Amino acid sequence: MKGRYPIDRQFGIWAKFTPSLSRGFLRLAAFFLPLMPKGLSDRRVNVTRVTFEKGGKALLIAAADCAENAPCLVCFHGGGFVFDAARYHYENAKRYALMAGCKVLFVRYPLAPGNPWPAPNDACLAAYRHALSHARELGIDAEKVAVGGDSAGGFLAADVALRAPEAGLPPPCFAMLIYPVIGGEETPSMRRFTDTPMWNARLNAKMWEYYAAGNQVILPGIRDLRAFPAAYVETAEFDCLHDEGARFAERLAAAGVSVQYNETKGTMHGFDAARKSAAAVKAVKERAAALRRAFEEQ
Q: For residue 53, what pLDDT band results from cuts at 50, 70 and 90?
A: confident
Any idea where the domains of the chain sit in the sequence? 9-296
Q: Is the pLDDT of residue 3 over 70?
A: no
The verdict on pTM exceeding 0.85 is yes
* Contact between residue 178 and residue 151 where contact means Cβ atoms under 8 Å apart: yes
Q: Which of 8, 150, 159, 239 is flagged as catalytic? A: 239
More confidently predicted of 214 and 40: 214
Residue 269 annotated as catalytic: yes
pLDDT for the residue 228: 98
Residues 6+ apart with CB under 8 A from 102: 66, 70, 71, 72, 73, 96, 144, 146, 291, 292, 295
pLDDT for the residue 33: 86
CATH topology of domain 9-296: Rossmann fold (3.40.50)
**pLDDT tens per residue across span 31-49:** 888 776 666 767 899 999 9
**pLDDT tens per residue across span 261-283:** 999 999 999 999 999 999 999 99
Cα-Cα-Cα-Cα torsion 203, 209, 212, 213, nearest 10 degrees, comes to -160
Q: For residue 241, what pLDDT band results from cuts at 50, 70 and 90?
A: very high
Q: For residue 54, what pLDDT band results from cuts at 50, 70 and 90?
A: low
* Contact between residue 193 and residue 243 where contact means Cβ atoms under 8 Å apart: no
Residue 13 sits at φ, ψ, to 5 deg, of: -60, -25
Mean pLDDT lowest among 31-45, 57-71, 135-149? 31-45
* Contact between residue 208 and residue 180 where contact means Cβ atoms under 8 Å apart: no
Cα-Cα-Cα-Cα torsion 4, 274, 19, 84, nearest 10 degrees, comes to -150
Average pLDDT, the chain: 95
pLDDT for the residue 237: 99
Angle ∠(138,229,227) on CA atoms, nearest 5: 125
Q: For residue 110, what pLDDT band results from cuts at 50, 70 and 90?
A: very high
Distance CA 138, CA 48 (A): 10
pLDDT for the residue 47: 94
Q: For residue 1, what pLDDT band results from cuts at 50, 70 and 90?
A: very low
Of 44, 16, 53, nearest to 128 by C-alpha is 53
Per-residue pLDDT averaged across 126-139, rounded?
98
pLDDT for the residue 239: 99
Residue 258 annotated as catalytic: no
Q: Which of 130, 189, 269, 272 is flagged as catalytic? A: 269
pLDDT for the residue 220: 84
Residue 151 annotated as catalytic: yes
* Contact between residue 59 and residue 40 where contact means Cβ atoms under 8 Å apart: yes
Q: For residue 294, what pLDDT band results from cuts at 50, 70 and 90?
A: very high
Q: HSE on the CB side for 286, CA within 13 Å?
A: 19
**pLDDT tens per residue across span 178-188:** 999 999 789 99
More confidently predicted of 30 and 81: 81
Q: Does residue 116 sit in helix, strand or coil?
A: coil
Q: Which of 8, 130, 151, 189 is flagged as catalytic? A: 151
DSSP designation for 255 = T
pLDDT for the residue 31: 85
**pLDDT tens per residue across span 69-109:** 999 999 999 999 999 999 999 999 999 999 999 999 999 99
